[in-house]
Every structure is written in C-alpha cells, then in structure tokens.
Structure 1
C-alpha cells in the first residue's frame, strides 16, 4: 500500500496556505475567515479510498432481500462464507443495478444467529433436550425461521446503509464511522454502474491511517498514552466457570463484538468469546446442544484447537480488511496497558483482526475495554455543521497550518 507523506497532508496544507496568501497583502485584517467544512475536509481529501488494497473483487456480492426469511438469510450468508450482506428492497426498481436505488440496510450473520438463539431459549419445550442442530431448530420453528428480515428492524438488528463512492476519501470514511454509532461496515459504490464493488471495515481504515507512521501530524496523536483519550470503557464480562450460553447472551444483550473471560477468583483476564465464534455453532450440532453445560473455558480450548488446525491467518486478513466480508475464524486476545500508546493499540488490533482490546493491570486483572471505534475517535473529523471544534487530529493539523475554528468558522492567523 502506498505511504502518504509530505506529498499528502503537507500538500493539503500548502494548498490551504496558497488559497489564503493572496488576501494577505494590503489587508488590515490579521485573520482570514474561510469555510470551516471545506478547509477541514481538504486535509484528508487527498487520501483516496482506492488506496485500500483488496477493495475490488470479481466475486458477486451476496445480497439479502427485505422479505427473505431469517432461515434463508442465515443459510445464504453461511454457505457463502460471508459475515454480512446489504438488504435490498424488492419494491424498488428491480431492473436497476444501482445499489443506491434498492439497498436500504446492512445485516450481519452474527446478529441473526444470536437473535435466533435468544428466541430458541424462550421455547423450552422445543429446545430442551433436543438433538437437532441450530440450523434445524431455526427451520423447525416458524416463529423464528420464517420471520422476515424486515421485521428484524424492530430489534435494531440492521445497520444503516451509508455507502461510500469509489472516488471518496479517507475523510469521508472517518465521518461515517465516527458519527454513526452503529456503523461497522461501509459498502463502496463503483463509479461506472453505481453497484457495490466491495466493503470497507474499521480495520481497513485503521490500517490506512497507520501508513502515516513517522509523520508529525500522525505521531503527535498516536504516540500519546491511551489513558489520555479516556477510551477505557466498562463492558460485560463472563467468568471462566460460566456457560457458553451465558457468554452468547451477553454478546446479544450488551451488543458486544467480544466478551472478556475473567477468572472468578483472581479477576485475571483469561480469554474472550467473540461474535465470530458463531460459525462453530453452525458447524457443530453437538457444540450448540452443549452450550448450557459447556463452560467458556472449555469452549475456548476447543475453539483454539480447531483454529490451529484449520485457520489460514493470511487468508482471513485478506478478506477481513476490505473486499468481501469473509467469516473470520480468529479469536485473538489483545491486551493493553493504560500506558501503551494509541499507535500500539492500532497496530495490535489490525495485526490480530480483533474487534476489541482489553486493558489489564500489572497483576493481569481486567480493567476495561477499547473498541475499534474508540481507536478511530481521536482522528475524528469535526461535524460538518461545525459549531464544535472537532477532534484532536484536526486540532493538531490546524495548529500546524496556523488555523483554528472559532464559532463554526475556520480562522487563519496571519
């Protein structure tokens, strides 16, 4: 991937200076007011989405229809080995190939599976003591399997459909990921026919930001301690002697991507259960049926042994950063200390393809969690309606350019 140096951010700053220098001579004003939104956008608009490797794919994008059943959607995504898909409205113009005309949302396989398990747990007479696997139980229960994708909107299981265009930039991606709390994946629309050509994940954006390592504007932010950003969050935990069913419920109830496993006596972090682990429940009927008696400690040992035998790490990473969203079969535990840098968190989470990192103290006790979105927030652009000064990333760039935001307007100090 191309590295963006002084010909990138530096060029943007030079362009901004050139745009305002002509007004300096003979002016009584010591400040020059320019459009806040256009000035801030110029800093990152030179880094195109096309800089993300693996974005284009020749494989057709899997699509779920608005009136598809949950059973059909789960089987479709699972059999195609993808973790999520756009939702198409069949009432839209069926002859149109344009995603903007027909796609209305995005849904993840893990959300549908976790919802189905929660519903199965409510139907005790059908699920208790059953030898059927998860997919068969979903199919046999019409109240679950025949539920329409449209109805799942009531459970807030959709992500909004906010696509980026092929010619958009990193600035646009940061706006989408940091301003929309529930957005985990961004579809990319091609310039030729306005159809989806691939997807961009938060991992891919972080990987792109890391190309600026060593540059002053990036290091000024990324070399700071994590504790300086206030990113340490409390999250749900599961104790090592609790069941896999307990962990699955926490993932659903608290809408987490990973739930940490803690030793009930020492309080030490011992592992994690992730949403990506659901593929095992679809593959192994006995594992699903033992979920209420199998401890999370026993489950992680089984999972890690399976992963070591079958998981090709390089292939997982290729498909997880961009392009098609392949089911990831990694559950790597990433630990950090409060005195670690933001840069280290970014590097570790990209390398491991982890959705979260866990803070541990010197004794190994769990102290908190940081997510991918948390890591992106310090680089967040300000609101386009900017009566807010914006994130520390832009504050740093503005200072270098001799600018600041005042009452929603960009001011350049002369």
Structure 2
C-alpha cells in the first residue's frame, strides 16, 4: 500500500509539473499583464481529475437507499467507517438523488428523540433510537422534507479541476462525487481540501498571487460570525449548537476571557457511537472535558501517508479521520494573514475550516474551505477576479451561461 501511495504521489507531481510548465510557457506569450483569465484557464483546465487525485479507485463506496431507516443508516455508516454516502433511488436510470452524512443523521436524531427518563438516557445512541421508533424508523427519503440532504452533483474522470471548482463554488456541497459514466456508479469523491491543495500548486503565477496575497481583512466571507459554546457547558448543548449552525464546526471558549480553547466539529460526532459513556453523560459532562477526550490523533506517521492524506480520498472518506487536528488544537488565523497563508494552513493541517482570532485568541469569525474556493469562482459568484473569455467558453462547454448575474444551465 505504501508503494502504491508513493506511485500516486509521483504521478500527481508529474501531472502538476507538466501543467505548471505548460501554463507558464503559454502565459508568457499571452500578455500576462492584462490576461490573468487566460492563465487561470491554462492551469485549471490542464489538471484532469483522473491523474491528479490519487487513490480514486482504492476502496468501495457506501450507498444509502431512500427506503433505509435512520437507525440502519447510522449503523451502516459507522460500521463502514464512512463519513457520508450518496442516496440512491433504484426507480430511476441514474440512481443518485442526494448525499447525506453521518453527523447530520446523528445530530438530527438527538434533536428529535424524547429522553428515555427524566435524568437522561441509559445505554447507547442505538438504544435511544430503538425506544423512539418514530425517529429511528424514519426513512431516509423522508428527510428531504427537512432539508437534511445535500444535493448530488457528479463529476467524471475526464473532467478537469475547473469543472470541480465550478461545482464546489456554486453549490453547497461537501464533496464532488466521481461517477463512472460506463456503469453510472460512484467510484470516489473529490474533497474541498484536495482542491485547495491543487490550487496551491499555482503559487507564483500572477493570476493566483493577485488573489491570495491580500490579507483576510480585505475579503468578505460568508460567515462573518462564529458560533461559540462555553467550555463549562454540556456536551449536549454543544451538539445542539453544532446542529443549528450548519457550518460544521463551533468554537469552544473560556467563559471568563472568551479565549479559544478548542472546537467541536461534525467529524467528532462519531465519538458518541464509539463510547457509550460519552453518550450517556453528554448532558452532565462539560464540553471542555469532551475536547480533551480525543488524545490519540497525533502525528503518528510523518510520511507520505500523512502528507497525502487529504488527497487519498478514495471510495469512502473515513469517519474516523486520523489526519485532522485534535479538538483541543483548532486551526487559527488572524485577519492580518494573507489568503495564501490561510490556504497553506488548512492544507497543511488537513482541516476544512480555520477560526479567525484576535491577539487575545478570541474567535472573531470562521473561514471555511468553501470561503476560499469562492474566491476562485466565476464572475457573478462572489469572485474577486474577472474571468472574462475563459469562463464564458468553459461555461459554454458545460452547457451553461450567465444571465442576469445567475448561472443558467441549458440542460
């Protein structure tokens, strides 16, 4: 496996080097002083998914059916160590109709379930769902009415990084599923973190530097505020705020000075299944205790396995993600940092968000991978650059066009 990953890394480096060298050569001949859009086209449209995302075919994909129950879906994802799965409807020729992640299922269930007794629940999450059959037996298909599904927008192996960038910037999706067109099956996923790592390969190109060299304070991001919970509040309260925030992470702060001491993320929710005692004590145990529970997520193998961890997003993205920082060591940036520094910070830590803090380490906002990707989006989508002819031609190839500031697809 290690030899295979080294081969994947060498292949990725070759693809990016060729794209970068060709881009630089063409860029010089294309009047870079007034044609940054051409440079963007030349680079992004020369990085095919098939050769730039290692390990796409390394693992099978877990799928959920519309007729599956919430309880069975949670157990399946946990058992298969999958952070989420596409939702299928076998009545359609193209079976995929949505995407649902483990954390959303669990957090929604906790919001809806009635406590077993007046002092809290005994047993496990599964036993709670068993004693609340109206929740545990809810069909996955019914959750669409609660807007818990993520949309399903597929990419194909022959598509380029630009196509993925367009999807992730326009739509609120965690990942872009890769579909094998010959069999109409999902064979893997492209993550937002992988896209940011590939974008960083553009470092040094004028079009890229013109975007990323500015400080974060000059950007307008989607999330100007950050959801917080005090360290002395309960785990249950933190989970409630996490579910309502819909961002995927909340800050844990000290009540006295509001200093950032940790975070709780969607990726940490699996611990409720991993440890029944945590689940049982979630209403009495503090969130500060919770963020110190996870102590095994250390730099266990400082090799290619960790360096390429975020890119090795084959068939199933792991629920127990060993590449993420610990809950008590959240990723941070200051508003004086440049966007490039923030991108490198996220890529280096394999995180999909960073808290913006002041000099006293008090959270001022949250920067997500989506916020970063939006800065490279086509015109009329919160972009800081003029895409010009590149985006017009690329959208035309995709059967889309810009009308009245909106993206309109012809199919």
TM range (shorter): 0.7 to 0.9
- Whole-Å separation in 2 of the counterparts to 1:155 and 1:258: 20
Flag structure 1 segments of 5+ consecutive residues without an equivalent.
18-36, 94-100, 383-387, 399-405, 410-414
For 2:101, which of 108, 126, 139 is the aligned residue?
108
2:330 to 329, 333, 344: 333
1:203 is aligned to 2:218: no
Q: CA RMSD in A?
A: 3.1
Q: Mean Cα displacement is larger for which, 202-211 or 306-315?
A: 306-315
Distance apart, 1:194 and its partner CA: 3.2
Q: For residue 55 of structure 1, report the CA deviation from its aligned partner.
A: 4.3
Structure-1-length-normalised TM-score: 0.80
The aligned counterpart of 1:138 is 129
Checking the alignment, whether the CA contact within 8 Å between 1:237 and 1:260 is kept in structure 2 is: yes
Asked if 2 retains the 8 angstrom alpha-carbon contact of 1:220 and 1:396, the reply is no
2:255 is aligned with 1:264: yes
Q: What secondary structure, in the 3-state scheme, does the structure 2 residue paired with 1:164 have?
A: coil
Correspondence 1:44-55 to 2 at 5 A: 44-55=44-55
Give 1:27's aligned residue. Answer: none
Distance 1:265 1:158 in 2: 38
State how far apart, in whole Å, the 1-side matches of 2:200 and 2:245 are. 30
User: Which of the two has higher C-alpha Rg?
Assistant: 1
Task: Report the counterpart of residue 377 of structure 2 in structure 1.
Answer: 380
Deviation at 1:209, TM superposition (A): 0.3
Identify the residue that residue 285 of structure 1 maps to in structure 2: 276
Q: CA deviation at 1:12?
A: 7.2
Structure 2 residue 109 is the aligned partner of structure 1 residue 119: no
Name the structure 2 match of 1:84.
Answer: 84
After TM superposition, give the deviation of residue 175 of structure 1 in Å.
1.1
- 2:152 pairs with 161, 164, 170, which one? 161
Contact 1:243-1:296 within 8 A present in 2 as well: yes
- Answer whether contact 2:196 2:347 (CA < 8 A) is retained: yes
Alpha-carbon separation, structure 2, partners of 1:189 and 1:11? 32
Residue equivalent to 2:351: 354
Residue from 26, 37, 58 that aligns with 1:11:
26
**Partner Cα distance (2:299, 2:24) in 1:** 44
In 2: Cα distance, 1:343 partner to 1:310 partner? 27
**Equivalent residues, number:** 366
Map of 1:392 onto structure 2: 384
2:226 is aligned to: 235
Find 1:252's aligned residue among 243, 251, 264: 243
Q: Give the Cα separation in 2 of the matches to 1:351 and 1:265.
A: 31
Q: Is the 2:27–2:39 Cα contact (8 Å) retained in structure 1?
A: no
What TM-score do the two structures reach when normalised by structure 2?
0.81
Q: 2:85 is paired with a residue of what secondary structure?
A: strand
Structure 2 CA distance for aligned equivalents of residues 186 and 126 of structure 1: 42
